[in-house]
Amino acid sequence: MELLSSPLFAITLSLAAFQLGNLLYRRLNEFPLLHPTVTGASLVALLLPWLDIDYQVYLQGNQLLMFWLGPATVALAVPLYQQLHLIRKMALPILLTCAFGAAFAAGSAVAIAYWLGGSETTMLSLAPKSVTTPIAIELANEIGGLATLAAGCVALTAATAMCLAPIVFRVLNIEDPQIWGFCLGITAHGMGTARAFEMNPTAGAFSSLAMCLTGAFSAALIPLVVKLLS
């Protein structure tokens, strides 16, 4: 069947799954663990083997959709500029939290994997887990991890943190959209930023900023630490 392996079908499937996920999400009062990116992806993963479509074919077919991640990332400059007055006020907490947060995210993941007997490759692929995908892949290559595994760890981290964050912040009583968005951006990078914009533009801007700073800090810090340890 020609249609099933076409980009047309692949993108239609993505949109349909996402909107079904959205419907479910709204029905259940936006229950955090069932964010449409996660439920939609699970639905596609169930359907692909059933329709006998190879995941790589589906991913290739979605290139056109994923192309817009680039311009959408550039567009994040707009909310960032609009929230500049708030960001200026919080400059020091932002920089400090980002530096410590980036180190903590990488360190805690590697420590837990080490403790559970993960291989060296696993640990090196886990180190960039809280860094946005393109930077994480370059980092993994640089320090000797596996790019595919690193990309997987990044996506898994993003999905996990995006779903857990609203619950954790409710428990910690964090309601300030600045802090809410910022902490989401450090831990869950791109998907977290998407989620923060669903809350409000302030949370989104702070999340974008956290994502970029964490990426920059990690790109500088992780190779250095790996060199020192090996």
Partner 1 sequence: MSLINGVLILLLCQCAGEAIKSYFGLSLPGPVLGMFILFIGLLIYQDVPEAVAKSSRSLIPMLGLMFLPAATGLFFLGSQYSDQWPAIIAAVLIGSLLSLIFNGLLMTFLARKRRGKS
Which position among 32, 38, 83, 140 is part of the footprint of partner 1 (CB under 8 A)?
A: 38
Pick out residues in 89-128 that bind partner 1 (CB under 8 A).
89-90, 92-93, 96-97, 100-101, 104-105, 108-110, 112-113, 116-119, 122, 126
Pick out residues in 148-177 that bind partner 1 (CB under 8 A).
148-149, 151-153, 155-161, 164-165, 168-169, 172, 174, 176
Which position among 69, 144, 200, 224 is part of the footprint of partner 1 (CB under 8 A)?
A: 69
Pick out residues in 70-89 that bind partner 1 (CB under 8 A).
70-82, 89
Which position among 9, 32, 35, 83 is part of the footprint of partner 1 (CB under 8 A)?
A: 35
CB of 172 to partner 1, least distance (A): 5
* C-alpha dihedral sign at 204, 208, 213, 219: positive
Q: What is d(CA 97, CA 187) in angstroms, rounded to the nearest whole number?
A: 11
Q: What is d(CA 125, CA 149) in angstroms, rounded to the nearest whole number?
A: 6
Closest CA to 177 of 202, 155, 152, 212: 202
| Cα–Cα separations (whole angstroms), residue 2 to 5, 9, 48, 202, 213 | 6, 10, 15, 45, 44
